[in-house]
Every structure is written in structure tokens, then in C-alpha cells.
Structure 1
């Protein structure tokens, strides 16, 4: 019984850690969008048109700051974290959006 409880606690801790890391990925994506004058929700919808709005994106978006307050986030970083979490479609949309940005904003 004690072993089952420990196993369950470990499983819950792993799941919670993954969710926190996933939230960080969402924050990196959303902040990159804000830094480049793009709407994260629009890019998300372009990547996943079959899905309704993403509640986690809406929640995490509240943690973003203005472009002036934020540090630079390299495109490679955004693409890397999106790929790490299996968001290849979103990474493709981000890469396409980045290609459309004026040179001084990339």
C-alpha cells in the first residue's frame, strides 16, 4: 500500500512537471509572437484549425509582457521548444510567419 502511494505520488509529480514545462513552451511561443507583433492565438489556429481555442494558451498568454519589457527570443529557440513538445505544425506556421517579418524585426 505504501509503495502504491509512493508510485502514485511520483507519477503525479512527473505529470505536474511536464505540464509546467509545457506551459513554459507555450509562454516562449506566445512571448515570441508578442515580440514580433503577431497574435499567438491566430498562429495557433492556423496550425490547428480543427481545434477550438486553446485554454492553456489563453491562460499562459496572461503572463506575457510588452515587447519593450521582454528580452529577445531567437527564432531557433521557439522552433526548438515547439519541436521538443511535438508541435511540428505550429513550428512550421511560426517559421512561415517569421519569413514574412520585415528584416529589422526578425
Structure 2
């Protein structure tokens, strides 16, 4: 029984961390006036809308003035295996520098 509890805690921690990653992504997009759902769709065109992303976007009408560094955003996305999304974000970073 104790093993299951530890397993559940690990799963919950990953979900919490994943939610943080989504919130950082949404904040980064807000900082650069980009649509997070559109970027996600470009990265994963074969997937339906991401419910967790939609929930974060809808729950954050007012975004903090937290600045997310471009490199940090890329690192966080790659840490969670969102390489395709990191590629799209890197493309947008390139456009922002022009």
C-alpha cells in the first residue's frame, strides 16, 4: 500500500510540474503577444486541442508581469520532451529578433 502512495505522489508531482511548464509557456506567449494555442497547434497539428493548455489560458485572464527568458522557455519545454513545441518557439524567437 505504501508503494502505491509513493507512486501516486510521483505522478501528482509530475502533473504539477507539467502544469507549471504550461503556465510558463502561456506567460511567455503573453509576454510576446503570441497565441499559445496557435503555437501548440503548429507544433502538434495531428493532435486535438490540449485541454490543460486551454484551461490555463482560460483561467489566466490577467497575466503577471513575469518575464520568461527565451532560453529558459526552451529549456523547460525540452525538459518535458516538448521538442516540437520548442522548435516552434525557437522559430518565433528568431522572428522576434528581426
TM class, shorter-chain normalised? over 0.9
**CA-based RMSD:** 1.4
**1:18-97 correspondence runs (5 A):** 18-61=14-57, 62-63=59-60, 65-66=62-63, 69-97=64-92
TM-score, normalised via structure 2 length = 0.92
Contact 1:26-1:57 at 8 Å conserved across structures: yes
Deviation of 1:102 after TM superposition, in Å, equals 5.3
Task: Tell me the matched-pair count.
Answer: 97
Deviation of 1:63 (Å): 3.3
4+ residue runs over 3 A deviation: 63-66
Q: What residue ranges of structure 1 are gaps of 5+ in the alignment?
A: none
Whether the 8 Å contact between 1:31 and 1:65 is mirrored in structure 2 is no
Structure 2 residue runs of 5 or longer lacking an equivalent are none
